[in-house]
């Protein structure tokens, strides 16, 4: 990811009774070489980071549906589209594995983390 330009974001959202989740379930960072990096919270609450393409939206019956669509402004990473990834740092826990991933851009860093099984994405600072 380092040295590649972020050109597009796609995310999946849980929709239940017409209400969309506050945070995405999955996030895909697509770079200028067409590589799609999938970020999600795993079933063991670790942060999963893998190369895979976005899947299609699907219906889960009584549990709602998962909508997959481009991200416009819903996450702090949206404002980083067009920027080059300058650095990447991972946080590991001995028992669970990867818990966080921090991406550095010219305009600041964004942290992706697994928190109680949910994917959380937040800006952690701006670069001078």
The set of residues, in sequence order, having a beta carbon less than 8 Å from that of 100 and lying 6+ positions away, is 47, 90, 91, 111, 112, 113, 114
Beta strands in 2-128 (DSSP E): 6-16, 19-20, 26-31, 36-41, 47-51, 58-59, 65-70, 87-93, 97-105, 108-115, 118-125
Question: For residues 10 and 125, which has the higher predicted lDDT (pLDDT)?
Answer: 10
Which H or E element spans position 22? Answer: none
**pTM of this prediction?**
0.90
Question: Which among 57, 67, 78, 91 is positioned nearest to 121, based on CA atoms?
Answer: 78
What is the total residue count of the chain? 128
Task: Work out the number of other CB atoms within 10 angstroms of the CB of residue 71.
Answer: 19
Interval 115-121 mean pLDDT: 88
Give per-residue pLDDT as tens, 12-43: 999 999 999 888 999 999 999 999 999 999 88
Say which DSSP state 4 is in.
Answer: P
Give per-residue pLDDT as tens, 66-77: 999 999 887 899
């Amino acid at each position: 990811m380092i040295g590649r330009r972020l050109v597009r974001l796609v995310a999946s959202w849980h929709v239940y009774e017409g209400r969309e989740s506050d945070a995405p379930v999955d996030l895909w960072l697509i770079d200028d070489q067409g590589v799609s990096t999938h970020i999600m919270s795993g079933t063991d609450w670790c942060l999963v980071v893998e190369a895979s393409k976005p899947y299609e939206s699907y219906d889960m019956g009584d549990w709602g549906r998962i909508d997959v669509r481009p991200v416009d402004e819903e996450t702090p990473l949206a404002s980083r589209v067009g920027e080059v990834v300058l650095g990447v740092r991972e946080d590991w826990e001995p028992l669970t594995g990867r818990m966080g991933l921090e991406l550095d851009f010219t305009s600041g860093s964004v942290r992706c983390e697994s928190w109680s099984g949910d994917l959380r994405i937040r800006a952690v600072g701006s670069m001078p």
